[in-house]
Amino acid sequence: MTDLTTLSIAEAGRLMTSGELTSTALTEAFLARIAVVDHKIASYITVTGDLALAAAQQADMERAGGLSRGPLHGIPIALKDIYETAGVRTTGHSHLRVDYVPAIDAETVRRLKSGGAVILGKLATHEFANGAMTPDQPFPAARNPWNTDYQPGGSSSGSGAAVAGALCMGALGSDTGGSIRNPAGFCGTAGIKPTYGLVSRCGIYPLSFSLDTAGPLTWTVEDSALMLDVLAGHDPNDQASARAPKVDYGASAHRSIKGMRIALARSWYESEIASVTPEMKKGIDDAVEVLRDQGAIIEDVVFPDIRDYHICGRVIITVEAHAIHRRDVIETPEKFGYTTRRRFQLGAFLSAEQYLSAVRFRRKLQQDTRAAMRGYDLVMAANQWGGPEVFEEPQQIFHFLGKPSLSMPFNVTGQPAMTVCCGFGSDGFPLAFQLAGRPFDEASVFAAGAAYERATPWRARRPTL
């Protein structure tokens, strides 16, 4: 049998259904690999081995008795350490919460457990999903499994590193300005930011109330679809939670994309202002041809300027994050990492007028994006400008004052957006593009992403640790 830790969620589920694999054996394989290799990439803050084995044994007993809880029954999953977990510390990768132990699970964690998932532990993150990973924080920085001298992207840094490093089958992350898609791109995994409101955020440390989303990172697009099958749904305790129709996302990953119309936002990543690396450009151009071979119709479409989305999103995040963390930054500034503290403080210098202008401008960008998408099912664009950055100290505090974020447009519009690996550069790092759909049309995103994966060899290549 293939190394158990490199099975996909879909493959492991089929093997458990047929009785060829147990959740206990699968969980033991992951715990063993974590013990042997995770010190190289520091993706875990807390490993809950005993709880995981107990959950795996329970899953095996249930399956033996004919009970199936769904696609994640017995599947080992890990959580970004901003998801509250009953009886297990939830640190936010910060001295401020280093000993905090919640009494109840986040709604998403509750849904995972109800679906029979096995929780392996809590994963590294940029502090409170905002600061960089710096030496003045309580845990080591997660590293990129393709080359540990480099960053894995953030803020769901441990989630991207753990999935790519075969240290869990799937992980939960969060995405306010690209924090699922950035590590997915730099680590070569799949990762989706669902439509704003599709997945509950109750019990997840907030960063920006009007932009925060929760979603999965996995090795394949199909696996992300299977996780979203369990996670999606209305939560009355989340004020932004939407009542959307139930969709079989796992099935959508097997849909034909013949006749699907995709708008290519080339102007975002190829312009006089900024352009992706030549290898990234070639990777995306090649991906366009693969999707065309699958029957998709892809045409260049002009969208609003990438800088407009970026500036709008950064103002909203900066003001809302300051409002959330203001008291702690004033009373205990020494408990924050130096990047986190300064980024939170920046919000004090933005006015109510500037914030409201950004909120109004967001509505215009949503309308203009919808108009540009008229007649198209999806948007396709680059995921990142090039490869990841090397670890250096001191780290850049206001990193977002450089090139605009390629992931920010879909946070501003609230649309679902997924990262898909499209090869590797000469430096050995993954290349990636984004697919974004209309609100609540994750199904089309999964269909196109999975069709691309089936037609390409990239999912067979793993980092060596």
Query: Among all residues, which ones are annotated catalytic?
Result: 80, 155, 179
* Structure tokens belonging to residue 433: 């593009």
| Number of Cβ within a 10 Å radius of residue 119 | 22
CA atoms of 401 and 311, how far apart (whole Å): 9
Crossing angle for the helix pair 23-37 and 9-17, to the nearest 10 degrees: 140
- CA angle 236/238/240 to nearest 5° reads 110
Whether cis (ω within 30° of 0) applies to the bond prior to 394 is: yes
Radius of gyration for the alpha carbons in the chain, expressed in angstroms and rounded: 20
β-pair partners for 297: 261
Structure tokens at 277: 């690396």
Burial 39-51 (b: 16+ CB within 10 A, else e): eebbbbbbbbeeb
- What is the C-alpha separation between 282 and 288, in angstroms, rounded? 10
**Nearest C-alpha neighbor of 379 from the set 231, 254, 459, 269:** 269
Q: How far apart are CA 286 and CA 430, in angstroms?
A: 14
